[in-house]
Chain A
Amino acid sequence: MSTAPVTKRKPTDYKSDLKPIWCPGCGDFGVLASLYRAFAELDLDPAKTVVVSGIGCSSRLPGFVSTYGFHSLHGRPLPVAMGVKLANPDLNVIAVGGDGDGFAIGAGHFPHAARRNIDITYLVMDNEIYGLTKGQVSPTSLTDQKAPSTPWGNLETPLNTLAFAVASGASFVARGASFNTKLLTELIVQAMEHKGFSYIDAMSPCVVFNNHQEEWKELVTDVSPDHDAADKVAAFDLALKGGFKLGILYREQRATLNEKYKALVDAAKDSTIEQMLEAFNARKGAAIGKPTV
């Protein structure tokens, strides 16, 4: 993170000129507010911060932030964010999106981003529904839920994204909620300070198509202070039990992909294009190159 200047930036410094186009009461407002506050608390340099997203209501978020933004394609924020971070490790990179974006069309990228331990944060605004396309079920929708695409009830079992994250090798796994911005701000701060792939599941109700806000407020409890976030089995157990636990489930320190690439590049013998071409040389008496790679 950048060193603090004399006056720290304020949350409003991260607001862009665009007004969010979300429905009144949408959980994503709370997530965005938490993000502004977390950025301010970390005093992120807007020039060196990139917010990457996919497609969906929540993926419009980069437009409302004054940093760099990359509103990519449906399901693709993680590989895009990886490319950004590998090309310039000095950047603060956070990927955001919804549950459909991240765990339906983009699910194939999630375990790889996690196991690679690329040094980015992934914040999913999970409303258990497709909002932008008007209310179809998502991979985190409840079984038996009735929706336009499941008029007789959802036949499928919802994905446990926290267990998925732990199992995939995410080195930071947490859950927050849009209606608890204090905690969510803190989680985003910790996730961005974490070296490695950090995943935050932010419960963020869709007030139009799947409004569980009041119910969720009742159900959530904090992760027990006794929980050892360094204990992977305990984290997996907690994730599998469900029960709307807010807080950090898992955290470990292991080398990030950026660190490994840096070591690899530093260790690689310096070469030039001229030397590489010389290895193919075929003139008489020249050094002999391998016929194939």
Chain B
Amino acid sequence: MARKSVVIRLAGESGEGVISSGDILTQAAARGGYWTQTFRTYPAEIKGGPCMYQVRMGEDQIYSHGKWVDLLVCFNQEAWDLHWDSLASDGVILYDETAVEIPDEYASRARPVRMEKLAKEIGGSLRAKNMVAVGAVSGVISFDTTPIEELVLRRYAHKQGVADANIAALRAGGDESGDLKGSLEITKAVEVEADRILLSGNQAIAAGAVAAGLEFFAGYPITPASDILEWLSAKLPQVGGITIQCEDEIASISAVLGASYAGAKSMTATSGPGLSLMTEMLGYSGTAEIPCVVIDAQRGGPSTGLPTKTEQSDLQHALYGGHGEAPRVVIAPITVEDCFWATIDAFNYSERYQVPVILLTDQGLATRMEVIHKPDTSDLELWERKTAASVADGEYKRYELTQDSISPMGIPGELNGRYVSTGIEHDELGHPAYTPENHVAMQTKRWAKLDPLKTDLVRHELYGDAQPEIAVIGFGSTYGAVREAVALAKAEGASVGAFYPRVLGPFPADQVAHFTANAKRIVIPEVNFTGQLARLVRGECGLQVESHAKCDGLPFTADDVLDVIMERVPS
């Protein structure tokens, strides 16, 4: 019987064609009509080192990358040694015949592929190894290679010889699996009319920012956020905006605040170490009430940590990092599609409430490729900031204490809006003021304006039962695995649901209390060491929770979470 989805893992030495094979397969699967999600590990080295590219494809929307590998492709011996224990019980193995020895007990479901030989003989060079491998994979899963051939023709449009050689190598690889050909047949994808796109979390954020009206981006290269700087360097000028690479993250956030002060929608993107450097200026942004959006693609910490691995360990830093108590908003998108919409939310909140907004993704979500519904940008709701242009002459107070605590912001160019922005405590006019009464009034105002974000204004995510016995609470990238696990647990009869706050600061304590009203267990999976979300829920809601924090640098799989939900010993 054909499978509804398959998990394919390609592994080998970086630079051997593993990544290009994975990219081709992903693109082809998407164009073949399959929902697709990828998962990669990156070596920290520039060249060489073990790498892995996992592609999960299927006829239904894919929410997580999958734990057990249906088809493992080993480009070298190390690939087998590192990944054999991830094989599903009926998983199939393809391996380079010259480089890998497979133990006898796996022989019946392992077939050698003449990667080097066919690449040289038919493809004309070792570089066609990836096409032989992709051909062999296609054979095992009975995937129609037409989209791959289209891709090759397109990529080498001006090099007919190269295109022909690649297609020949692809076709030659198709029969290499021998009698295992078709053994993991995947169901044919249904023809769909709706538009889908394939992109990474970083790309979705960059595109979301453009959709939100981004005008100025300043950033400093850092893994895994650099894609955003690079994509916007290419694209932002095409809509009249400016992208600049600064000398460090402090300059980046400073330039962002300068641009925002001058009236431009502004953003920067970084990872943990950069967020640390930006922290002082984020306090300024909150105090002087200058809007800005900061993307934090979290990576393994602490310190330089694991730059190419995933972790959710900046939550408390994003919420509380910095001296004093300056207001800010923290958002965590849950899928690649949500990265697009959450970025628009980030700009809306930032502009309306004149506050810094930190958007938390992580290496896993930032770099994975995912097929998503193409966002409909025809009717976007964009919020604008309140400016001094709305104020009658002579009455202007930059930090006026208003009903909703939002004050009119002067934008250079408006004669009536002149003021001096400052991080010193100030009165309504923006003049330095140190009285106890004034400080209390201003701190109250700066925090009170965020109160609407504790209401239904924010779209939080609920999956499964609305008030379950087993209440799962998570944030960000773990959503996909948790969603699949909840579905599996419900199929086993469990009363279970998952609540994902999209806005974590200010924390939706009332919504969490409602969700957990009937809970016998509150389960909190997160990818960090100390259980930061668990601590947050305990502190904000006074609830007893089970922390299931792990910090191995890898995303959760649905099976991991299912074991937690069902209280099983992990397999």
Q: Do the two chains bind?
A: yes
Decide if A86 touches B210 in the complex (CB within 8 Å).
Answer: no
Tell me if A73 and B423 are in contact (CB < 8 A). yes
**Does A71 lie within 8 Å of B33, measured CB to CB?**
no
B259 touches A67 (CB 8 A): no
List the one stretch of B133-141, B230-238, B305-313, B356-364 in contact with chain A: B230-238
Interface string of A260-293 (1 = CB under 8 A from B): 0100110011111110110011111110110111
Residues of the B chain whose Cβ atoms lie less than 8 Å from the Cβ of A272: 239
The segment out of A46-54, A147-155, A197-205 that lies at the interface is: A46-54
Chain A contacts of B191 at CB under 8 A? 284
- Structural contact, A66 and B261, CB atoms closer than 8 A: no
Enumerate chain B residues within 8 angstroms of A269, measured Cβ to Cβ: 238
Shortest distance in angstroms between B244's beta carbon and chain A's nearest beta carbon? 7
Q: In the bound complex, do residue B237 and residue A293 qualify as a contact, i.e. CB atoms below 8 Å apart?
A: no
Which stretch in B23-31, B449-457, B474-482 binds the other chain? B23-31
Q: Does A219 contact B (CB under 8 A)?
A: no
A residues in contact with B259, CB < 8 Å:
83-84, 86-87
Asked if A142 is at the interface of the complex by the 8 Å CB criterion, the answer is no
Residue A79 contacts which of B195, B241, B250 (CB distance < 8 angstroms)? B250
Q: Is the CB of B210 within 8 A of A276?
A: yes
Determine whether B415 belongs to the interface, using a CB cutoff of 8 Å to chain A: yes
Query: Which residues of chain B are near A109, meaning CB under 8 Å?
Result: 247, 251
Mark contacts of B498-524 with chain A using CB atoms, 8 A cut-off: 1 yes-contact digit, 0 otherwise: 000000000000000000000000000
Partner of A47, one of B227, B256, B412, B422: B412
B528 within 8 A of A: no
- Within 8 Å of chain A (Cβ to Cβ): is B538? no
Which single member of B31, B247, B412, B419 contacts A286 (CB below 8 Å)? B31
CB distance from A291 to the nearest CB of B (A): 4
A91 close to chain B: CB less than 8 A: yes
Tell me the nearest residue of chain A to B234, going by C-beta.
A293
Question: Closest Cβ of chain B: how far from A288's Cβ, in Å?
Answer: 5
Residue of B258, B260, B261, B410 ringed by the most chain A CB atoms within 10 A: B258
* Cα distance, A286 to B192, chains bound together (Å): 13
Q: Mark B235-279, 1 if CB is under 8 A from A, else 0.
A: 101111110101110111011111111111010000000000000
Say yes or no: is B207 at the interface (Cβ < 8 Å to chain A). Answer: yes
A282 touches B196 (CB 8 A): yes
- B369: which of A46, A72, A276, A291 is its contact (CB, 8 Å)? A291
Within residues 50 to 83 of chain A, which ones have a CB less than 8 A from any CB in chain B?
50, 52, 62-63, 66-73, 76, 78-83
B residues 371-393 near A (Cβ < 8 Å) are 371, 374-375, 377
Give the interface centre of B30, B154, B207, B424 by most chain A CB atoms within 10 Å: B30
Inter-subunit contact A83/B266 (CB<8 Å): yes
Q: At the interface, yes or no: B197 with Cβ under 8 Å from chain A?
A: yes
Residues of A near B215 (CB, < 8 A) are 87
Whether the Cβ atoms of A87 and B266 lie closer than 8 Å is: yes
Contact B240 A265 (CB under 8 A): yes
Contact across chains for A63 and B420 when beta carbons are under 8 A apart:
yes
Which B389-422 residues have C-beta < 8 A from chain A? 410, 412-415, 417-422
The stretch among B114-122, B198-206, B487-495, B554-562 that forms the contact with chain A is B198-206
- CB contact under 8 A between A291 and B26, given known A70-B261, A87-B259: yes
Bound: A91/B194 CA distance, A: 46
**Which residues 126-180 of B sit at the A interface, judged by CB distance below 8 A?**
147, 150-151, 154-155
The dominant DSSP class at the A interface is mixed
A88 to B259: give the CA distance in the assembly, Å: 8
Find chain B residues with CB under 8 A from A69 CB: 419-421
Residue numbers in B under 8 Å from A52 (CB-CB) = 258
Closest to B416 in A: A47
Contact: A108 with B423, CB < 8 Å? no
B39 within 8 A of A: no
CB of B211 within 8 A of chain A?
A: yes
Roughly how many angstroms separate A88 CA and B216 CA in the complex, as a whole number? Answer: 11
- Interface pair B27/A291, CB less than 8 Å apart: yes
Q: How far is the CA of A116 from the CA of B344 in the complex (A)?
A: 31
Residues on the A chain within 8 Å of B254, using CB: 72-73, 76, 79-80, 83
Tell me, in angstroms, the Cα distance from A87 to B255 when the chains sit together. Answer: 9
Complex CA gap A283/B193 in Å reads 8
Q: Which residues of the other chain, B, contact A237 by a CB distance below 8 angstroms?
A: none
B211 x A288 contact (CB < 8 A): no
User: A79-B251, A80-B255, A293-B230 are contacts. A261–B284 as well, Cβ < 8 Å?
Assistant: no
- Point out the residues of chain A lying under 8 angstroms from B266, CB to CB: 83, 87
Cα–Cα distance between A280 and B151 once the two chains are bound (Å): 14
Given A47-B415, A83-B216, A277 and B375 touching (CB < 8 A)?
A: yes
Within 8 A of B (CB), among A89-108: 90-91, 108
Contact B258 A87 (CB under 8 A): yes
Encoded as 1 (CB less than 8 Å from any B CB) or 0, chain A from 115 to 132 comes to: 000000000000000000
Give Cα A273–Cα B432 distance, bound, in whole angstroms: 43
> Taking the nearest CB of chain A, how far is it from the CB of B289, in angstroms?
13
Would B413 and A47 count as touching, CB distance under 8 A?
yes
A90 touches B237 (CB 8 A): no
Contact B377 A274 (CB under 8 A): yes
Complex Cα–Cα for A287 and B369 (A): 18
Give the contacting residue for B422; candidates A71, A91, A261, A273; CB below 8 A: A71
CB <8 Å contact, B281 and A76? yes
Which has the most chain B C-beta neighbours within 10 Å: A62, A72, A91? A72
Q: A47-B413, A47-B414 are in contact. Are A292 and B23 (CB under 8 A)?
A: yes
Instruction: List 26 A-B pairs, Cβ < 8 Å.
Output: A16-B420, A47-B417, A49-B412, A66-B418, A68-B412, A73-B254, A73-B423, A79-B254, A80-B255, A83-B260, A84-B258, A84-B412, A86-B259, A87-B259, A87-B262, A87-B264, A88-B264, A91-B413, A264-B237, A265-B240, A280-B197, A280-B198, A281-B198, A282-B371, A293-B203, A293-B234
Interface residues, chain B, with chain A CB atoms under 8 Å away: 23, 26-27, 30-33, 147, 150-151, 154-155, 191-192, 194-200, 203, 207, 210-211, 215-216, 218, 227, 230-231, 234-235, 237-242, 244, 246-248, 250-252, 254-264, 266, 280-281, 284, 369, 371, 374-375, 377, 410, 412-415, 417-424, 431-432
> 19 extra interchain contacts, Cβ-Cβ under 8 A, other than A91-B413, A281-B197?
A18-B431, A47-B417, A52-B258, A62-B420, A68-B410, A68-B420, A71-B424, A79-B252, A87-B259, A87-B263, A88-B263, A108-B248, A109-B251, A280-B198, A280-B207, A281-B374, A284-B31, A289-B197, A291-B26
Closest 6 pairs between A and B when the two form their complex, measured CB to CB: A83-B258, A69-B420, A83-B255, A282-B30, A79-B254, A87-B259
Q: What is the interface of chain A, defined by CB distance below 8 A to chain B?
A: 16, 18, 46-50, 52, 62-63, 66-73, 76, 78-88, 90-91, 108-109, 112, 261, 264-265, 268-274, 276-277, 280-286, 288-289, 291-293
